[in-house]
């Protein structure tokens, strides 16, 4: 009888100690822990769960774990891992969960079933906040999105389709989602398993994947199994490509929705949970007596520090893993735990091979009926995070250095490009000439020029080189220099000599040469622009650069304008009563192909009339809401009376500035206004 009593008391004492260990481990764990029944209803949470998600134990217990913390777009994922644990397996994933305030948090999630006597009675889930690590990785990898591959989730049902939607491969799990075996669905089209509405929705989703190359997640659709059963499934899919990068089909995963089992027996659950929690924990755990002598370690402790359980148990924890220069720190945290306090710090510990490892260390007492019976220490390897922080700091320094150097080089480029614009515009009796230029970046692809020709005529050009930035700026300088050079050559040496040099395929050799005294501005425009076009298209064809431009020559004495519009915006001729006419394109953009023909035309500018030329940076300027300034608004302004070219220019720029206030400029803005007095 006495022996039975002694055995019973010993058993009760063991149970009390195990329960105390469980309570201490739960409450002092640095991880958020939830225990649910097999249906996912919460039975217990720890204080870290309450801190991470914002729910008190009273608010959480009795709630469905998925409804409480799983975002709506992750619900199928949560149900999938529930099925894994109910199937007797452990899972580890990185995912998103939702706090009480609605904010999302990146977590690593580990879970497993609680098994007693061979039966699954409950489940546990351990959440670790990985926000800091995710942030460091995102910054270091320049916000590159990290996708899990479909094969990592093959247990959720992996399948492949050809471009016509025929099923070419799939796992048994995928077959079960479709309501049968692989023989029931291989070779068949996905549309055969659903009604017309669902088939169309899936077709649109796969079409989007094909057109964009981007994967699509969480496509919900209803399947009709071969036996007529209706199954609701969730599919995520991505494009498959061959070795040459050509699309060949689609691959994806499908999940079905199943019911969870329920369970019972809280006391026996705690013992089973304690064993499972310690052995499956992603953190290194050591339990010591109040003097620091190790009583238990888990497999992660062995992996992290290199000591087997046989080597560690019975050793002083500080002598085993604390470096000599940290011994005072080690004894200090032990004293804190022994006095009933919890602690958390980042520090360094020593492995069996004498190498040092960065760890976050959290610990506290295991208390039974008010007495400290043991101490708990939890170690997390933070080597990767520390290394990422160092690399991120180095990357920031490099980026700042490169940014400063780039700013300096762009500043030099801006100064050089500014020298290409005329310092002052020509002054001709009876004519007013004003211009406006506003670059969208430090260097520009727009340009304008105005200069007096050898004949006394006024040459002017406004152009927009395709693209923006440094490349466009370089070609801007080239276009401007070529037009200037060929103009000076033509009006300086005579047309006959210029024709002797040839243009392109010598298509102009049949033109009779004219003497210097017999200037023909329209022919001069065609020849100069042909030379410019052929040089760009032949010498720099690989750059694929071209420009739209309006190139004109005004004879000041009689107001005759000879011009070529090479694919540019229409130029407005504005009289006292508004817009008289617009000068539409007479040919293609310059520099696209060699030997293109450019037709010059003529028109007279009457006294008091304006000539208004601009680039598309004006009409395509957007306000803060994204609305275009538009050609209609510009034409309305041109129909308003103006006293001078300066008044006309000021009216337009003021209106444009008001429209774009608060918005980022997306394109260069250039305009020339010429008025005949």
Per-residue pLDDT tens for 166-194? 888 777 666 666 666 666 677 778 777 77
Mean pLDDT calculated for residue range 321-329? 92
Model confidence pTM above 0.85 = no
Per-residue confidence (pLDDT) for residue 181, from 0 to 100: 67
Intra-chain end-to-end CA distance of the chain, in Å: 127
Residue 571 reports pLDDT greater than 70: yes
Mean pLDDT calculated for residue range 383-410? 77
450-488, pLDDT tens digit by residue?
989 887 889 999 988 887 666 676 777 787 888 887 888
Bigger pLDDT: 514 vs 165: 165
Smallest CA-to-CA distance from 576 within 631, 484, 622, 643 is with: 643
> Rounded CA gap, 303 and 298, in Å?
9
Q: Which of 8-17, 626-635, 644-653, 659-668 has the lowest mean pLDDT?
A: 8-17
Mean pLDDT calculated for residue range 420-424? 77
Q: What angle do the packed helices 469-493 and 521-539 form, to 10 degrees? A: 140
HEC per residue, 209-253? HHHHCCCEEEEEEEEECCCCCEEEEEEEEEEEECCCCCEEEEEEE
- Collect all residues with Cβ–Cβ distance below 8 Å to 476 and sequence separation of at least 6: 417, 420, 444, 445, 446, 447, 463, 465, 547
Residue 140 reports pLDDT greater than 90: no
- Structure confidence at residue 569 as a pLDDT band (50, 70, 90): very high
Beta strands in 104-229 (DSSP E): 104-116, 119-129, 158-162, 167-170, 216-224
Q: Which of 237-251, 473-487, 611-625, 632-646 has the lowest mean pLDDT?
A: 473-487
Mean pLDDT calculated for residue range 651-663? 93
Q: Contact, 91 vs 81, CB < 8 A? A: yes
Q: Which of 207-211, 350-354, 453-457, 539-543 has the lowest mean pLDDT?
A: 539-543
Bigger pLDDT: 364 vs 395: 364
Residue 642 reports pLDDT greater than 90: yes
> Rounded CA gap, 627 and 625, in Å?
6
Beta-bridged to residue 249, according to DSSP, are 162, 240
DSSP assigned state of 629:
-
Per-residue confidence (pLDDT) for residue 267, from 0 to 100: 55
Per-residue confidence (pLDDT) for residue 167, from 0 to 100: 82
> Rounded CA gap, 633 and 630, in Å?
6
Question: HSE (CB half, 13 Å, CA atoms) of 218?
Answer: 9
Per-residue confidence (pLDDT) for residue 524, from 0 to 100: 85
Residue 604 reports pLDDT greater than 80: yes
Buried b or exposed e, range 177-186, using 16+ CB within 10 angstroms? bbbeebeebe
Residue 542 reports pLDDT greater than 70: yes
Q: Which of 265-279, 353-367, 492-506, 635-649 has the lowest mean pLDDT?
A: 492-506
Q: What are phi and psi of 465, to 5 degrees?
A: -75, 140
Residue 338 reports pLDDT greater than 50: yes
**CB neighbour class for 560 (10 Å; exposed up to 12, middle 13-18, buried from 19):** middle
- Structure confidence at residue 406 as a pLDDT band (50, 70, 90): low
Average pLDDT across the chain, whole number = 82
Question: HSE (CB half, 13 Å, CA atoms) of 487?
Answer: 25
Q: What angle do the packed helices 383-418 and 469-493 form, to 10 degrees? A: 20
- Structure confidence at residue 443 as a pLDDT band (50, 70, 90): low
Mean pLDDT calculated for residue range 545-570? 93
Q: Which helix (H) or strand (E) holds 75?
A: helix 75-86
> Rounded CA gap, 645 and 10, in Å?
105
Q: What is the DSSP string of 378-419?
A: EEEE-HHHHHHHHHHHHHHHHHHHHHHHHHHHHHHHHHHHHT
> Rounded CA gap, 109 and 99, in Å?
15
HEC per residue, 572-604? EEEECCEEEEEECCCECCECCCCCCCCCCEEEE
Q: Which of 113-117, 207-211, 251-255, 639-643 has the lowest mean pLDDT?
A: 251-255
Mean pLDDT calculated for residue range 347-363? 92
73-104, pLDDT tens digit by residue?
999 999 998 888 888 898 999 999 999 999 99
> Rounded CA gap, 554 and 577, in Å?
22
**CB neighbour class for 563 (10 Å; exposed up to 12, middle 13-18, buried from 19):** buried
Per-residue confidence (pLDDT) for residue 455, from 0 to 100: 78
C-alpha angle 213-218-222 in degrees, rounded to nearest 5: 115
- Structure confidence at residue 413 as a pLDDT band (50, 70, 90): low
Most confident of 215-224, 509-518, 548-557, 587-596: 548-557
Smallest CA-to-CA distance from 378 within 45, 48, 60 is with: 48
Residue 516 reports pLDDT greater than 60: no
Q: Contact, 356 vs 323, CB < 8 A? A: yes
How many other C-beta atoms are found inside a 10 Å radius of the C-beta of residue 550?
Answer: 27
Furthest CA-CA distance within the chain:
137
Q: What are phi and psi of 538, to 5 degrees?
A: -85, -45
Mean pLDDT calculated for residue range 556-582? 94
Per-residue confidence (pLDDT) for residue 28, from 0 to 100: 83
Q: Which of 344-348, 385-389, 416-420 has the lowest mean pLDDT?
A: 416-420
Per-residue confidence (pLDDT) for residue 20, from 0 to 100: 74
- Structure confidence at residue 156 as a pLDDT band (50, 70, 90): low
Share of the chain above pLDDT 70, in %: 83
Per-residue confidence (pLDDT) for residue 417, from 0 to 100: 56
């Amino acid at each position: 009888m006495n022996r039975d009593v002694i055995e019973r008391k010993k058993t009760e004492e063991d149970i009390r100690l195990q329960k105390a260990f469980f309570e201490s481990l739960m409450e002092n764990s640095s991880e958020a822990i939830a225990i649910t029944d097999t249906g996912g209803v919460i039975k217990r949470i720890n204080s870290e769960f309450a801190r991470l998600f914002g729910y008190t134990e009273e608010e959480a217990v009795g709630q469905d774990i998925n409804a409480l913390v799983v975002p709506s777009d992750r619900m199928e994922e949560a149900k999938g891992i529930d099925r894994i644990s109910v199937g007797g397996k452990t899972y580890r994933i990185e995912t998103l969960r939702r706090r009480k305030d609605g904010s999302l948090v990146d977590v690593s999630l580990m879970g497993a079933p609680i098994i007693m006597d061979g039966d699954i009675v409950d489940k546990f889930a351990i959440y670790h906040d990985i926000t800091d690590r995710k942030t460091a990785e995102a910054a270091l990898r320049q916000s590159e999105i990290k996708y899990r591959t479909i094969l990592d989730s093959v247990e959720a049902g992996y399948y492949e389709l050809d471009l016509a939607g025929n099923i070419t491969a799939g796992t048994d799990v995928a077959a079960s989602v479709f309501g049968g075996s692989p023989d029931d669905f291989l070779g068949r089209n996905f549309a055969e398993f659903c009604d017309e509405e669902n088939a169309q929705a899936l077709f649109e989703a796969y079409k989007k994947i094909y057109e964009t190359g981007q994967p699509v997640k969480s496509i919900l659709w209803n399947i009709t199994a071969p036996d007529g059963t209706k199954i609701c499934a969730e599919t995520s899919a991505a494009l498959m490509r061959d070795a040459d990068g050509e699309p060949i089909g689609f691959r994806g995963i499908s999940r079905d929705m199943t019911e969870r089992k329920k369970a019972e027996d809280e006391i026996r659950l705690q013992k089973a949970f304690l064993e499972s929690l310690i052995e499956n924990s992603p953190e290194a755990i050591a339990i010591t007596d109040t003097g620091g002598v190790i009583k238990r370690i888990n497999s992660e402790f062995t992996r992290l520090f290199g000591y087997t359980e046989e080597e560690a148990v019975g050793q002083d924890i500080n002598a085993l893993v604390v470096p000599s220069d940290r011994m005072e720190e080690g004894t200090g945290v032990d004293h804190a735990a022994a006095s009933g306090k919890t602690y958390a710090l980042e520090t360094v510990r020593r492995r069996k091979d004498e190498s040092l490892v960065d760890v976050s260390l959290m610990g506290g007492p295991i208390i039974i009926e008010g007495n400290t019976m043991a101490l708990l220490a939890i170690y997390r390897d933070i080597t990767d995070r520390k290394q990422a922080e160092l690399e991120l700091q180095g990357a920031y320094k490099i980026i700042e250095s490169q940014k400063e150097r780039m700013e300096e080089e762009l500043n030099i480029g801006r100064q050089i490009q500014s020298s290409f614009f005329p310092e002052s515009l020509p002054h001709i009796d009876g004519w007013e000439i004003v211009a406006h230029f506003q670059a969208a970046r430090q260097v520009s692809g727009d340009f304008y020029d105005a200069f007096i020709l050898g004949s006394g005529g006024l040459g002017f050009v406004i152009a927009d080189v395709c693209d923006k930035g440094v490349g466009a700026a370089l070609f801007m300088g080239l276009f401007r220099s070529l037009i200037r050079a060929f103009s000076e050559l033509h009006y300086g040496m005579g047309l006959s000599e210029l024709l002797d040099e040839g243009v392109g395929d010598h298509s102009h050799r049949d033109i009779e040469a004219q003497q210097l005294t017999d200037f023909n501005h329209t022919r001069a425009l065609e020849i100069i622009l042909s030379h410019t076009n052929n040089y760009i298209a032949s010498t720099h064809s690989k750059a694929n650069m071209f420009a739209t431009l309006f190139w004109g020559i005004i004879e000041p004495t009689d107001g005759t304008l000879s011009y070529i519009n090479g694919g540019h915006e229409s130029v407005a001729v504005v009289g006292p009563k508004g817009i008289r006419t617009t000068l539409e394109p007479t040919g293609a953009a310059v520099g696209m192909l060699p030997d293109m023909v450019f037709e010059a035309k003529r028109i007279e500018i009457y006294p008091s009339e304006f000539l208004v030329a601009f680039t598309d940076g004006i009409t395509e300027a957007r306000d803060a809401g994204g609305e275009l300034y538009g050609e209609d608004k510009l034409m309305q302004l041109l129909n308003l009376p103006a006293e001078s070219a300066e008044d006309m220019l000021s009216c337009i720029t003021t209106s444009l500035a008001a429209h774009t206030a608060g918005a980022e400029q997306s394109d260069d803005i250039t305009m020339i206004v010429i008025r005949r007095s």
